[in-house]
Copies of this chain bind each other. A is one copy, B any other.
């Protein structure tokens, strides 16, 4: 065995959801040599089976630590993903911001990742946002990541002391097919990822919602057999 203990390892906080994108980001960060601390949120989401997938994928993809923060976004409401009174649509409803958008979700998640990064003295935060397929979400765009980076540079002790945290969104400009091909190259077990907005308690996908549609299309375009388990 090789002794890596003398090698200075950069730490990263990686936001994980149990879905395809964040699993790919975790595998890419590991492949770059980061020591990864994964962070998931129990925020009252309907698709809670994601949380089990996030924990399993973190272990399997070599995270050194996995943390789940409790944060009840249902108390704020306003999204089909957290509000029982709003139905998840089966197809994308044309132009505009989808009803599945959770108000300020990525802002909140990155803020908490920033706090943890500061405590860990981590140099990087990885997030699996993507502007290509989900361009309807305001907080999945390059302008959002750039603005959060500028905030992080002034918001923290590390920032003030010149050791600012870098916000990395490596999937930003990739298509779903490109993401899948990149992930296959670093061994992401996609059969364990859960993307469906209304997966059943075994993690099986509905095959009909917007998220299932984009994922299915991605495997097709990547020319990779779709390993998703459907109901």
User: Is residue A159 contacting chain B, with contact meaning CB distance below 8 A?
Assistant: yes
Would A112 and B104 be within 8 Å (CB), given that A138-B159, A155-B147 are in contact? yes
User: Is residue A107 contacting chain B, with contact meaning CB distance below 8 A?
Assistant: yes
A101 near B157: Cβ-Cβ < 8 Å: yes
> Shortest distance in angstroms between A179's beta carbon and chain B's nearest beta carbon?
23
Rounded to whole angstroms, the CA-CA distance of A130 and B116 in the bound complex is 24
Secondary structure at the A interface, as helix, strand, loop or mixed, is helix
> Shortest distance in angstroms between A53's beta carbon and chain B's nearest beta carbon?
20
Closest partner residue, chain B, to A75 (CB atom)? B69
A107 near B111: Cβ-Cβ < 8 Å: yes
A53-85 contact mask (Cβ, 8 Å, vs B): 1 or 0 = 000000000000001011111011110000000
B143 near A115: Cβ-Cβ < 8 Å: no
Oligomer copy total: 2
B103 near A156: Cβ-Cβ < 8 Å: yes
A119 in complex: contacting residue of B78, B112, B154, CB < 8 Å: B78
Residues of B within 8 Å of A107, CB to CB, are 111, 114-115, 151, 155
> Shortest distance in angstroms between A78's beta carbon and chain B's nearest beta carbon?
4
> Shortest distance in angstroms between A165's beta carbon and chain B's nearest beta carbon?
10
Rounded to whole angstroms, the CA-CA distance of A230 and B190 in the bound complex is 60
A139 in complex: contacting residue of B75, B101, B112, B155, CB < 8 Å: B155
Q: Can you list 19 A-B pairs with a CB-CB distance of less than 8 A?
A: A67-B75, A69-B75, A70-B71, A71-B71, A76-B112, A76-B116, A78-B118, A102-B115, A103-B114, A103-B115, A103-B157, A104-B155, A107-B111, A108-B108, A108-B112, A138-B155, A147-B147, A147-B150, A150-B150
Besides the known contacts A139-B155, A147-B147, 19 further A-B residue pairs in the complex with CB atoms under 8 A apart? A70-B71, A76-B112, A78-B115, A103-B115, A103-B116, A107-B111, A108-B111, A108-B112, A138-B155, A138-B156, A138-B157, A143-B154, A144-B151, A144-B155, A147-B153, A147-B154, A147-B155, A148-B155, A150-B151
